Amino acid sequence: MSSRKITIEDIAQKANVSISTVSRVLRKSSGVAIDKREAVLQAVSDLDYRPNVFAQSLASGQSMTIGVVTQNFGSPFYDGILQGILLGLERSDYSPLFADGRWNETIEQHALQTFLDRRVDGLIFVGGQLPEADMMAVAQKTPLILVGRKIDSLAENCIHIDNFQAGYNLTSYLLDMGHRNIAHITAHMHYQNTVSDVAQRYAGYVQALADAGIEFDPQLVVQGTLLQQSGALAVEMLMMQKRPFSAIFAANDQMAFGARLALYRRGIRVPDDVSLVGFDDEMTAAYTIPPLTTVRQPSVEMGQAAAAALMNLIDGQPVNLQTFKSQLIVRESVARLR
């Protein structure tokens, strides 16, 4: 079997048309007679022709690729956004390339430079820690959409929920259930400086306490890393401080899962002894023991919106991004304080 690559000259010869006609058909240009178009397409099929994408990108100035930098492959929330991006691109001519930033600024910077070197047509950043100045510099030369992160100077490029209001509502729900000593597992300040969604949830927590006339107690706030093990460690830190608490608000479900394990190991019952809430409504949240009260984010829809917005930016079309709504999902991990 010959390994020679099929060229448009081969297609033209088989279809008995000119090379320029083949080129117009492959570019989906108009002005080609129906019979000639059908002959070319049949020849493409018979010869199993695969276009040289690299050559096409050199000719068109577009790579037809989208660079996507996410965080923590395997995280249900971030993977939901990726699923939405895939759904949003599947009917387009664009192919996504993925990189995992792993909440590490150096790794994110390397991924960004790799995508820029590959001449991607646009970029989607899901979360991330790159400084605002870096994001602004990227947006000036490459179409950019940010998901799950709010940067005021790039507000028109950001897709997110109102994390302040969501954090406020979740804390208010615990207050309505009679809790006054509410611990909060947030992210490390290094994350808060760049991950505005977690910082806004913390701000909502603080404001809800203030509005209820409860003095903020820094001993009830522990910093984690957004991963499960940090939730378990956070509970141990709270216990060592010997500051009583009747409820825990974890800034994401991952840390809530870790907190649940640490409470179990100490013989502390949820929700009988301590109520527990998370954030994100990951798929497994409904199947923990007890099922976790949390906040649902429309991750798939956010990913689809990101893909659509980015393609509009690439085409020079206006982008009008909405703030997505979250939903409090009440399950069985919260009990009224007796």
Within this chain, do residues 201 and 266 fall inside the same structural domain, yes or no? yes
Within this chain, do residues 186 and 147 fall inside the same structural domain, yes or no? no
What was the pLDDT predicted at 190?
58
Residue 100 lies in a domain: yes
What was the pLDDT predicted at 150?
84
Ordered DSSP codes for 294-337: EEE--HHHHHHHHHHHHHHHHTT----PPPBPPEEE--SS----
Within this chain, do residues 168 and 284 fall inside the same structural domain, yes or no? yes
Within this chain, do residues 16 and 31 fall inside the same structural domain, yes or no? yes
pTM score, whole prediction: 0.78
Residue 333 lies in a domain: no
Residue 1 lies in a domain: no
CB neighbour burial string for 78-91, b if at least 16 within 10 angstroms, e if fewer: bbbbbebbbebbee
What was the pLDDT predicted at 312?
94
pLDDT single digits (tens) 147-181: 988 888 999 999 999 999 999 999 999 999 999 99
Residue 190 lies in a domain: yes
Within this chain, do residues 15 and 65 fall inside the same structural domain, yes or no? no
Within this chain, do residues 287 and 184 fall inside the same structural domain, yes or no? yes
198: tokens are 């977690």
Within this chain, do residues 85 and 169 fall inside the same structural domain, yes or no? no
What was the pLDDT predicted at 52?
64
pLDDT single digits (tens) 279-332: 999 989 999 999 999 999 999 999 999 999 999 999 999 888 888 999 999 999
What was the pLDDT predicted at 188?
77
Residue 280 lies in a domain: yes
Within this chain, do residues 149 and 31 fall inside the same structural domain, yes or no? no
Q: What is the CATH number of the domain that holds 42?
A: 1.10.260.40
User: Domain range holding 145?
Assistant: 61-161+299-325
Below-50 pLDDT ranges, the chain: 1-2
Residue 140 lies in a domain: yes
